[in-house]
Homo-oligomer: A and B are copies of this chain.
Amino acid sequence: MAGLDAHAPPLAGVFAAVLTPLTAERAVDHRTLAAHCRWLLANGCDGLSVLGTTGEANSFSVEERTDLLDRLIDSGIPADRLLPGTGCCAVPDTVALTRHAVARGVAGVLMLPPFYYKSVSDDGLFAAYADVIEGVGDARLRIALYHFPQMSAVPLGAALIERLLARYPGTVVGIKDSSGDLAHMTRTTHAFPDLAVFSGSDTEFLPLLREGGAGCITAVCNVGCHLAAEVYAHWRTGRAENANERLANLREAVATYPLTAALKAILARHTGHAGWRFIRPPLMPLDDAQATELFALLDAAGFAPPPP
């Protein structure tokens, strides 16, 4: 991890929004998950954001989520490379998941706001985050906020971020911005120099680095982390353009389909493990025609993930 400090690694670099492989009964396939995480760390990921949107976090119970994290860390994945998602609709659930993750020594947590109620006030969102931070009550807590208006339908605005940073400096340390809006990410980066701003998509990764962004946390990194790592290694020198273009092409092909299903199909093909295609409703696997079409797009672009 660039600029790594042994005692408190800064949140920066390339993070995969890690997929959650499932068994035929659609339970978590812990063994395949651990293997995938090892592969991601060996192929360019600085960190692993498990249990986010791509990881189908909100399709799992609190118990399934704590169990996933326990078994992943117990399998040898370093806790300080992990940035698990812990934001739920209910503050008690967010507190439980966050407290557990901090106790296990994670680098930080990625935290959606409560997302059922819409058009809520900044006062209400501030109170929810404050209840979580004070409910967890642990100085080791490091939060990356999660701004994903298209999915959560609960945007996190600049005024709210400013209040949180003022009240909880050193605790609120980052934000994942999945808006896809580079201008918005750039404004956030410039307005809050102490905040680590991560692009939630690959397209904005390189331009955001140039504006002072901290890195990316993306779904496509599940298969293209080597490209993102190349961009991150060379972004200052101008030698990042080729990898960036290949990453953008990959993103474009994959995003033609529902992201999680498409990436699971690619990993099923790449690893030869057909079980990778299992997914929890309301998401559905790609059908065979879609998968064939997607693979043709990738082959035409000359894309292949690093060897399993």
Q: Which residues of A contact B (CB under 8 A)?
A: 53, 58-62, 64, 89-93, 96, 113-118, 120-121, 123-125, 127-128, 130-131, 150-154, 280-284
Contacts and interface: CB of A to CB of B under 8 A. Distances in A.
A123 B258 CA distance: 14
A114 B282 contact: yes
29 contacts: A53-B117, A58-B90, A58-B116, A58-B117, A59-B91, A59-B114, A60-B92, A61-B90, A61-B92, A64-B90, A64-B92, A89-B89, A91-B280, A113-B282, A114-B282, A116-B151, A117-B151, A118-B153, A121-B282, A121-B284, A123-B284, A124-B281, A124-B282, A124-B284, A125-B282, A127-B282, A127-B284, A131-B281, A154-B282
Given A91-B280, A124-B283, A128-B282, 10 more contacts: A58-B116, A59-B91, A59-B114, A91-B281, A116-B151, A121-B284, A124-B284, A125-B282, A130-B281, A153-B153
Contacts of A118: 150-151, 153
Contacts of A58: 89-90, 114, 116-117
List the number of copies, as a whole number: 2
A281 B128 contact: yes
Contacts of A113: 282
Contacts of A60: 90, 92
A135 to B, nearest CB: 11
Contacts of A96: 61
A114 B57 CA distance: 12
Contact of A59 (B90, B151, B152, B284): B90
Contacts of A130: 281
A140 B258 CA distance: 36
